[in-house]
């Protein structure tokens, strides 16, 4: 009887380790992405807009039996937008953490934090909050957003990118 007890304990341990919770696979990814482009005058602003983007992404993917169950996504990205005519530029820095739980489930973007800085280091625009988006058959429905936007002193409303760079939006 005493010889069967260790076998029974081993059987229980194997049974527990084979439970659905233990079948979860976790994959960690880290990568950087860069890109650049331009929008000719009249395409968005009344001047040619150049943009350079850099992103650092850290992602944890939880899957079971080859199917993604949840993704936790951390991103820090920056965009330098430049008025090609004057050389004036602003830098936008965004920090986000996103949670995705599968097709049809809401995608939640928490800690959505963005700031735009002038080339002399002055804070031009700031926002933070929570964004919830649901994916319904490849159509994204915006559910809600919380947070605030800080306007630039001297402007009656939060200016757009073209205005921050000394021009006007045309589209």
Residue 17 counted as domain residue = no
The chain-wide mean pLDDT, for the chain, equals 75
Q: Tell me how far apart the alpha carbons of residues 82 and 164 are, in angstroms, rounded to a whole number.
A: 10
User: Is residue 53 assigned to a domain?
Assistant: yes
In this structure, is residue 11 part of a structural domain? no
Q: What is the mean pLDDT of residues 100-127?
A: 75
> Is residue 135 a contact partner of residue 104, using CB atoms and an 8 Å limit?
yes
Number of separate domains in the chain = 1
Domain assignment present for residue 19? The answer is no
Selection from 127, 129, 120, 119 nearest residue 151 by Cα: 127
Express each pLDDT in 15-57 by its tens digit: 444 445 548 899 999 999 999 999 999 999 999 999 999 999 9
More confident residue, 131 or 124: 124
- Is 0.75 topped by the overall pTM? no
Q: What is the rounded (10 degree) CA torsion for 27, 143, 33, 113?
A: -100
In a domain, 108, yes or no: yes
Please check the confidence at residue 165 and state whether its pLDDT lies above 60: yes
Q: Is residue 171 part of a domain?
A: no
Q: Which domain holds residue 154?
A: 24-164
Q: Considering the domain boundaries, does residue 56 fall inside one?
A: yes
Structure tokens at 17: 């380790």
């Amino acid at each position: 009887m005493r010889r069967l007890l260790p076998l029974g304990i081993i059987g229980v341990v194997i049974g527990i380790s084979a439970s659905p919770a233990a079948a979860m696979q976790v994959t960690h990814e880290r990568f950087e992405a860069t890109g650049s482009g331009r929008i000719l005058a009249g395409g968005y602003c009344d001047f040619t807009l150049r943009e350079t983007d850099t992103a650092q992404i850290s992602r944890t993917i939880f899957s079971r039996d080859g199917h993604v169950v949840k993704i936790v996504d951390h991103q820090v990205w920056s965009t330098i937008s430049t008025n090609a005519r004057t050389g004036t530029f602003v830098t936008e820095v965004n920090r986000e953490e996103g949670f995705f739980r599968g097709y049809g489930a809401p995608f939640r973007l928490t800690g959505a934090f963005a700031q735009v800085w002038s080339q002399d280091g002055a804070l031009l625009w700031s926002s933070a909050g929570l964004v919830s988006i649901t994916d319904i058959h490849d159509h994204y429905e915006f559910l809600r957003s919380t947070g605030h936007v800080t306007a630039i002193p001297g402007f009656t409303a939060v200016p757009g990118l073209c205005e921050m760079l000394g021009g006007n939006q045309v589209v």
